[in-house]
Amino acid sequence: MMKKHLLLFGIFCCIVIITTTGCSMEDLRFEYTTGTGLNITKEKYDRIENGDSYSTVMSILGGSCENYYSSEGEDWYTCVDNKDSSKRIVLKFINDQLKSKSSSGLN
């Protein structure tokens, strides 16, 4: 019972410290491990077009992305640069055809 209280107290202290210092999740600099060999650039992102197949998009990006949602022919992927986790691409495929894309961290 004491260990449970200590754990809850520890979590509470972390929350208080984060909220009172104005720290955000980005400030904590979590490292992401998704993708293999990805060097995401704006040029590569601009080459990706709706209608492209998954394999075409992966050959443009030069690696693989993490599938985080699949349902009845619909697949969502997140692609994170191996060296700069602020560079990301989110891709939505329906029946192996790209239907939408979005990015963040690309200048």
Query: What is the spatial order of strands in the sheet that 97-104 belongs to?
Result: 66-71, 74-80, 88-94, 97-104
Distance of CA 61 to the CA centre of its chain: 14
Higher-pLDDT residue of 93 and 84 is 93
Mean pLDDT value across residues 62-85: 91
Q: What is the pLDDT of residue 34?
A: 45
Q: Give the domain 31-107 fold.
A: Beta-lactamase Inhibitory Protein; Chain:B, domain 1 (3.30.1450)
Higher-pLDDT residue of 36 and 29 is 36
pTM of the model: 0.66
Q: What is the pLDDT of residue 85?
A: 86
The answer to whether 80 touches 63, Cβ cutoff 8 Å, is no
pLDDT band per the 50, 70, 90 thresholds, residue 31: very low
Structural domain boundaries of the chain? 1-30, 31-107
